[in-house]
């Protein structure tokens, strides 16, 4: 055995807006409808047409032996107008989670994954504190509807990415550039998580609730330069440290703000980590380490960062850890096999116990402003025909699931021939 995975369970992750297709009125459909917002001019209307292909996709999951599936809900389908719930959409999700269960697959359901209904976006979305109770009403409804089949919930995906892309850099909806607003948004998302955590537990006794936190490693370009050091520490705090603390234990470090009735406590049943890359920090600017191996989007491929992030989290927040996303765009599937091996090796060698690993993504999907171009799937997608083709890395993943690790033969077959980065591909 080249790599023994012990009790680690492997799953795959997805998000509603990125795979479902269709014309739900979301912040992303509106954003993509505007000229020049999405790099390849695509919209989420096509995506993987998963809404119409749920049973086909569940069969494919089952065929690959995948037992853990992270999926999202499209709030705009469920509540297309403020306070008006769409029974057919709710029934669709009920059928989907029931079908997953029937196929022996455990769903982990994300309630918010960058996706707001259009009407919510119009009224200022998460910049407003009265968005929190609106979100909680939707959460209460969906947890009540789905809890017969679903015990595992992610309230919010990557609050820091949502807030910085949409409110600092402004290249995601709603296209604002205000650090103050970004901090308000993060504070409201943190408050919403804590309140949702309590609500979900009140409805469903067996529930396990967490957040999918986007965590990176911030390293100073020059560790002897105090400006780089301070820059790296400051960014790590503002981007991820503060929000992780607020959402996990209800203590809101500056510049985040709590609420008078939110006490310190433990607001997680697992810490969810989405890990992709490292940030290389020079003063107050952040970039990619020079001459490093990179993926198709130019992100550094840095497996040790996963181990470092795991140790950082485990030290501060005891309890179960799920890797709720990890993966890479690799259009030719040239290096994904090695990426998987290197990241899972780093995870197993970290000394931190991890219960789950969800690979991003199951099939190729609509990658926000990057559009249809990046290919994150273990399963390749022909957008024109919607044909799904399992990639070599998908076969390798299925093989690892059935052997609880990577055998010597699997290593020779899939890892040895793989490249190290897209630069060589
Ligand atoms: C994460 C997002 C996910 C996907 C991957 C590539 O930041 O949560 O939706 O876009 O990156």
Which atom of ligand 1 is nearest to 212's Cα? 8
Looking up tokens 């402003």, which residue turns up?
A: 369
Q: Which residues line ligand 1 (CB under 6 A)?
A: 15, 18, 157-158, 161, 214, 274, 325, 360, 367-368, 376
Quick one: pLDDT at residue 424?
Answer: 47
DSSP β-ladder status, 3-4 and 321-326: unpaired
Quick one: pLDDT at residue 423?
Answer: 64
Dist CA 136 CA 270 (whole Å)? 20
Quick one: pLDDT at residue 184?
Answer: 98
210-257 tens-digit pLDDT? 999 999 999 999 999 999 999 999 999 999 999 999 999 999 999 999
Measured in Å, residue 227 CA sits from the centre of ligand 1 at 30
Instruction: Identify the CA nearest to 70 among candidates 21, 9, 15, 145.
Output: 15
First to last CA, the chain: 28
Tell how far CA 245 is from the center of its chain.
18
Segment (H or E) for 106: strand 106-112
Tell me which residue has its CA closest to atom 4 in ligand 1. 367
Q: Is 6 exposed, middle or buried (0-12, 13-18, 19+ CB in 10 A)?
A: exposed
Sequence-separated (6 or more) residues with CB below 8 Å from residue 287: 279, 280
216 contacts 309 by C-beta, under 8 angstroms: yes
Write out the DSSP string of 369-413.
Answer: GGTT-----SEEEETTTTEEEE-HHHHHHHHHHHHTEE-HHHIII
pTM of the model: 0.98
Tell me which residue has its CA closest to atom 2 in ligand 1. 158
Measured in Å, residue 402 CA sits from the centre of ligand 1 at 27
Q: Is 385 exposed, middle or buried (0-12, 13-18, 19+ CB in 10 A)?
A: exposed
Rg of the chain over Cα atoms, rounded to whole angstroms, equals 20
227 contacts 280 by C-beta, under 8 angstroms: no
Quick one: pLDDT at residue 357?
Answer: 99
Q: In which residue ranges of the chain is pLDDT below 50?
A: 424-425
Measured in Å, residue 368 CA sits from the centre of ligand 1 at 8
Dist CA 312 CA 352 (whole Å)? 10
Measured in Å, residue 226 CA sits from the centre of ligand 1 at 32
Sequence-separated (6 or more) residues with CB below 8 Å from residue 117: 25, 26, 27, 75, 76, 79, 80, 82
Quick one: pLDDT at residue 253?
Answer: 98
Output the CA torsion 337→306→107→74 (10° steps): -100
Sign of the CA dihedral 284, 290, 296, 302? negative
Helix (H, G, I), strand (E, B) or coil at 180: helix
Measured in Å, residue 274 CA sits from the centre of ligand 1 at 8
């Amino acid at each position: 055995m080249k790599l023994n995975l012990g009790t680690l369970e492997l799953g795959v992750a997805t998000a509603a807006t990125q795979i479902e297709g269709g014309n739900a009125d979301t912040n992303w459909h509106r954003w993509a409808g505007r000229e020049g917002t999405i790099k390849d001019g695509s919209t989420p209307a096509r995506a993987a047409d998963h809404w119409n292909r749920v049973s086909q996709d569940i069969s494919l999951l089952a065929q690959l032996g995948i037992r853990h599936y992270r999926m999202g809900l499209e709030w705009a389908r469920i509540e297309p107008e403020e306070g008006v719930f769409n029974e057919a959409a709710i029934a669709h999700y009920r059928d989907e989670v029931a079908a997953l269960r029937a196929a022996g697959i455990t769903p982990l359901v994300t309630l918010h994954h960058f996706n707001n209904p259009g009407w919510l976006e119009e009224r200022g979305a998460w910049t407003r504190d009265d968005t929190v109770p609106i979100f909680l009403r939707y959460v209460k409804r969906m947890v009540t509807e789905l809890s017969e089949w679903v015990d595992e919930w992610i309230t919010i995906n990557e609050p820091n990415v949502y807030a910085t892309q949409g409110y600092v850099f402004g290249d995601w909806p709603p296209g604002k550039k205000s650090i103050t607003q970004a901090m308000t948004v993060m504070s409201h998302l943190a408050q919403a998580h804590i309140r949702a955590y309590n609500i979900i537990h009140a409805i469903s006794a067996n529930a396990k609730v967490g957040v999918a936190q986007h965590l990176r490693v911030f390293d100073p370009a020059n560790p002897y330069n105090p400006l780089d050091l301070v820059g790296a520490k400051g960014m790590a705090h503002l981007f991820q440290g503060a929000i992780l603390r607020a959402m996990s234990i209800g203590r809101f470090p500056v510049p985040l703000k709590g609420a008078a009735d939110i006490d310190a406590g433990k607001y997680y049943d697992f810490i969810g980590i989405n890990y992709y890359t490292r940030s290389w920090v020079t003063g107050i600017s952040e970039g990619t380490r020079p001459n490093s191996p990179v993926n198709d989007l130019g992100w550094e491929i840095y497996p040790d960062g996963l181990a470092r992030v795991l140790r950082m989290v485990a030290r501060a927040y005891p309890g179960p850890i799920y890797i709720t996303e990890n993966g890479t765009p690799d259009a030719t599937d040239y290096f994904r096999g090695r990426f998987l091996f290197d990241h899972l090796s780093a995870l197993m060698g970290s000394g931190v116990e991890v219960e789950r690993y969800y690979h991003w993504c199951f099939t190729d999907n609509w990658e926000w402003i990057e559009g249809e171009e990046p290919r994150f799937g273990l399963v390749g997608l022909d957008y024109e025909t919607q044909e799904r083709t399992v990639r070599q890395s998908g076969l390798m993943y299925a093989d690892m699931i059935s052997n609880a690790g990577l055998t010597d033969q699997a290593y020779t077959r899939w890892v040895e021939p793989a490249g190290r980065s897209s630069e060589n591909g």
